[in-house]
Structure 1
Amino acid sequence: MSKLAWLNGLPLEEAKAEFLRCCGSTRWAEAMARARPFKTDTAVYSEAGWLWSQTSTEDWREAMAHHPRIGDVSKLRERFKASGAWSEQEQKGVQGAGEDVLQGLADGNREYEERFGFIFLICATGKSAQEILEQLRERIKNPPALELRIAAGEQAQITRIRLEKLLTSP
């Protein structure tokens, strides 16, 4: 059975739980679960993007709250059991970073959260710790409304990557 057929055949609550692994917005996950059955993987991605565009700032903040801090690699599996392995893969570039970069991420995350009221969210896949730190330092200068929209865009990218993993991983 294909992963798409499996996903389409899940009971509603189980499908919602699978979609929550991809994006922590309850509203979005419920809408995705109700949008089934999907004919193709592409249809899943398309619907996911469209539904995300229909969400509110409250949904964005809820989704962001389901992510570990960048660099919080030691707690990924413990705190985020449903998506911890995926987060760990996505933050692979942070592993092995120098102490100065890790400290910069820790300090920057704290400052960012104080300024904006949510964690620094970036699609970390393929980025080094230094690149992430540079983005953090740049984005902290943004006005709050702009930064919230940027973070929501990063969430959309992360969701797409996680949907791909959901539909292709064994």
Structure 2
Amino acid sequence: MRELSRDDLLACCASARWADGVAGPPYSDLTALLDRSDSVLAMLNWVDVHEALAAHPRIGDRSKGADRESAWSRDEQAGTATAEQDILEELRKSNQAYEDRFGHVYLVCATGKSAGEMLAILEDRLGNVPEKERMVVRDELGKIVRLRLAKLWEETA
């Protein structure tokens, strides 16, 4: 059985409502934790999701902090570390266009993706209607949270 602190959980998802909903009961295994997380994420309203998004750096902007969340973010965005300058500039421009259109940071589960792949996904998603984009964002957030919870589980073993 493993109990995770609210602060540890906030490194996985910066929504206070999510962290409060997941913190508390000890978990017998990672599957139980992921199931609980999925259930709580599904119940979040858009304000809660927006709170979680605010903690994510723009794709291409590498977190510089020494904390767990910053380190995870750098690892997740490893595909931008060696990207050509022209790709990074296009990411910067497209990030701004996305934020202007949707009012929040572009979120994609970046793990294993190159900067070019992330740019192509961003450009494609710019064509989404806001309602569809909110569904995509929620899905991407879920993928990121699941990856981070798995890392947290391993770190706290």
Q: TM-score, normalised by structure 1?
A: 0.88
Alignment of 1:124-135 (within 5 A): 124-135=110-121
Q: Does 1:104 align with 2:63?
A: no
Instruction: Supply the AA of the counterpart residue of 2:46.
Output: T
Q: Does 1:63 align with 2:52?
A: yes
1:63-120 C-alpha deviation (Å, 9 max, x unpaired): 10110110001xx023x83400000000001111011100010000011001100000
Q: Which has the higher helix share?
A: 1
Aligned residue pairs: how many?
156
Counterpart position of 1:16: 6
- Report the secondary structure of 2:144's partner residue: helix
**Cα deviation, residue 127, structure 1:** 0.3
**Cα deviation, residue 152, structure 1:** 1.1
Q: TM-score, normalised by structure 2?
A: 0.95
Q: Does 1:86 align with 2:72?
A: yes
1:11-52 C-alpha deviation (Å, 9 max, x unpaired): xxxx11111000011000011113x11121110011111111
What percent of counterpart residues are identical? 38
| RMSD of aligned Cα (Å) | 1.4
Counterpart position of 1:28: 18
Selected match of 2:42 from 30, 53, 57: 53
